[in-house]
Amino acid sequence: MSSATFLSVEPRHAHNPAEPRRDPSVSIVLATYNERENILDTVGAILDQFGWDVEIIVVDDDSPDQTWQLVENLADPRVKLIRRVSTRGLASAFNRGIIESRGRFVGWMDSDMCMPPDLLPKMVDRLRQDDVCVGSRYVPGGSDDRSRLRVLCSRLINGLAGIVLGGGIRDYDSGFVVLRRTVFDKVSIIPTGYGAYFMEFLYTCRRKGLTIHEMPYRFTDREKGESKSAPNVLRFLWTGVGYVVRIFAARLRRFD
């Protein structure tokens, strides 16, 4: 069975804008802050993969470069903008988008074109077998094309997470994922901080008995815009400390 059959994707020309839309099969959440140079490319690439059977929820933290305005100007019924004026944070942005989503399958990813939107249909198709599908840089077939220092630090963090949290997961801080909506009946995001929330999320999924598949992909460094996690060395190191703290906090957390 093809991905298109599994998703029941509507051809682009099949939708009459004058008619109310049914709930899409797939919801993809993008969290943005100063991504003016990338957001339209990311949104367009996702729409190309799913046609009318997708909604994209862009949660923008009132970007000074007016990323939100570009999204608003699209005036596409498949694209929903949430502009947060007094709240910031990656984890909380994804959490807000998930709350607003309607699809049977929900995913989220970076909005800087470092993660390939054309992998999304394959990831969703994998949900016929598993509860969660993670885009992984560190399973066989995957790669991380960033600077040596950033790759080394990422592998050290993931190595520590693998030792402390277990579960056989290679890319604990991927942040590139699709899952069945029913996952949220058992697990929710802790909506604080930057990327460390994802390690906690995957660890809890494992503890709750959910199945996780890692699908390899090539992670490329951004071509446009500035990294939010490592704009300078001090911020990079501070982010790393936060990851270590939350790895151990997740391990010590009690589960019902």
Each residue's pLDDT tens digit, 132-175 = 999 999 999 999 999 898 899 899 999 999 999 998 999 999 99
Q: Are 224 and 65 in contact (CB under 8 A)?
A: no
pTM to 2 decimal places: 0.87
Average pLDDT score over residue span 217-240: 70
Q: Give yes or no for a contact between 176 and 110, defined as CB atoms under 8 angstroms apart.
A: yes
> pLDDT tens-digit profile of 106-121?
999 999 999 999 999 9
The pLDDT score that the predictor gives to residue 20 is 46
Residue 179, helix vs strand vs coil? strand
List the single range of 76-85, 155-164, 204-213, 221-230 with lowest mean pLDDT.
221-230
**Which of 147, 67, 49 has its CA nearest to residue 105?**
49
Q: What is the pLDDT of residue 230?
A: 53
- Joined tokens for residue 6: 């599994």
Residue 189 corresponds to which tokens in the numbers above? 């995001």
* Residue 181 pLDDT: 98
Q: Using an 8 Å Cβ cutoff, are 47 and 75 in contact?
A: no
Q: CA 111, 176, 85 angle in degrees (round to 5)?
A: 45
* pLDDT, average across residues 207-225: 90
d(CA 242, CA 89): 14
Residue 19 has pLDDT above 80, yes or no: no
Cβ(230)–Cβ(157) under 8 Å?
no
Architecture of the domain whose range is 3-252? Alpha-Beta Complex (3.90)
Neighbouring C-beta atoms of residue 141, cutoff 10 Å = 11
Q: Which residue has the higher pLDDT, 128 or 15?
A: 128
Is the pLDDT score of 24 beyond 50? yes
Model confidence pLDDT, tens digit, residues 241-250: 888 999 999 8
Q: Return the SS3 of 212.
A: strand
Of residues 63 and 223, the one with the higher pLDDT is: 63
pLDDT of residue 38: 95
How is residue 22 annotated by DSSP? P
Separation CA 103–CA 149 (nearest Å): 38
Whole-number Å distance between alpha carbons of 247 and 159 = 11
Is residue 125 over pLDDT 50? Answer: yes
Q: Read off the amino acid at residue 17.
A: P
Residue 74 burial (C-beta neighbours within 10 Å; 0-12, 13-18, 19+): middle
Tens of pLDDT, residue by residue over 178-211, are 999 999 999 999 998 888 999 999 999 999 999 9
For the residues of 96-155, what is the DSSP string, one character each? Answer: HHHHH---SEEEEE-SSS-S-GGGHHHHHHGGGT-SEEEEESSSTT-EE-S-HHHHHHHH
Q: How far is CA 115 from CA 45, 109, 196, in A?
A: 11, 7, 18
Q: pLDDT digits over 25-65, tens only?
A: 999 999 999 999 999 999 999 999 999 999 999 999 999 99
Q: How confident is the model at residue 2 (pLDDT cuts 50, 70, 90)?
A: very low
pLDDT exceeds 60 at position 231: no
For residue 107, the model assigns a pLDDT of 98
Q: What is the mean pLDDT of the chain?
A: 88
Does residue 179 contact residue 98 with C-beta atoms inside 8 Å? no
